[in-house]
Amino acid sequence: MTGYVTRFAPSPTGPLHLGHALSALTAWDRARAAGGTFLLRIEDIDTARCRTEWEAAIADDLRWLGLAWPEPVLRQSDRMPAYRAALARLADLGVLYPCRCTRGDIRAALSAPQEGAPAPLYPGTCRGRAMADAGPGDAIRLDLSRALALTGPLAFDEAGPLRPGRHDAALALADGDPVLARRDIGTSYALAVVVDDAAQGVTEVVRGADLFAATAVQTILQALLGLPRPTYWHHDLIRDDAGRRLAKRDDARALALYRAAGATPDDIRRMVGLQPAGAGRISTSAPSRTAV
């Protein structure tokens, strides 16, 4: 696969909503404008929550929007050997350590935040434990300081309208050492996504602004694993009337319900701030949008 390649990578744990539509349509429009390839990837590593019926509904909604993609679709649940191999390579580099801390332990170490606050940053309690000491219930974390000492200075390129330019991957340090594998899943989003983007030849990652911070960690993993580094395009989020970003719990914003009410694909485009298909140059730099 050559030239421009991007992907839309939903998890089949619920219905697609307007935020998903914005992300998928933006990626599709950018691929078409570049004469490139749009891929669908199914991120189903969380097998306890993923459902085949949701995967079928995702494909149905995307086809209704006018999108198409090469088959077969890559499913992360089929890729566990590749993720294990990447994890083993990182272990050989000495940048991983096992962590037995629960969320309660982390909160206690940080003098528990108020109820409703974001998940606390990991304070490094288990940093320094050897991988040889890993137990069956341990998570595996990336030692970011040690990783950056190996890679040297790193930066990633953001092409999107929100924060265009080059960004220092050391931004990842602010969020603490990330989990790269869990006992119940065996990998993590951060690890799986960089392995899969490289395997599929993705040249630009299109996704929501809520994942901007994750890009720094992924840049570090790409460097450690010797993987190519795509550019990134983070778009604004669709929000509800209270200003919160849409999530899969927001069934009232599900595409299937808009379809049932008689909406057209062009109506969905207008709702998320994109021009109707074939209406000329596509704008993907609209300001923050509120779902209607």
Tens-digit pLDDT profile for residues 180-216: 998 888 999 999 999 999 999 999 999 999 999 999 9
At residue 106, the pLDDT reads 61
Instruction: Check pLDDT > 50 for residue 282.
Output: no
Task: Tell me the pLDDT band of 243, cut-offs 50, 70 and 90.
Answer: low
At residue 2, the pLDDT reads 57
Average pLDDT, the chain: 88
Q: What is the per-residue burial (b if ≥16 Cβ within 10 Å, else e) of 124-140? A: bebbebeeeebeeebbb
At residue 236, the pLDDT reads 92
Cβ–Cβ < 8 Å for 96, 134: no
pLDDT tens column, 123-153: 889 998 999 999 988 999 999 999 999 999 9
Helices (H), 93-153: 103-109, 144-151
Distance CA 10, CA 21 (A): 11
At residue 259, the pLDDT reads 95
At residue 244, the pLDDT reads 64
Cβ–Cβ < 8 Å for 273, 289: yes
At residue 246, the pLDDT reads 60
Long-range pairs for 184-189: beta carbons < 8 A, 24 or more residues apart: 184/48, 185/45, 185/46, 185/47, 186/45, 186/80, 186/83, 186/84, 187/45, 187/76, 187/80, 187/83, 187/84, 187/87, 189/43, 189/45, 189/214
| Architecture of the domain defined by 5-290 | 3-Layer(aba) Sandwich (3.40)
| Three-class secondary structure of residue 244 per DSSP | coil
Retrieve residue 139's tokens.
Answer: 């998570």
Task: Tell me the pLDDT band of 118, cut-offs 50, 70 and 90.
Answer: very low
The percentage of residues in the chain with a pLDDT greater than 90, rounded to a whole number, is 74
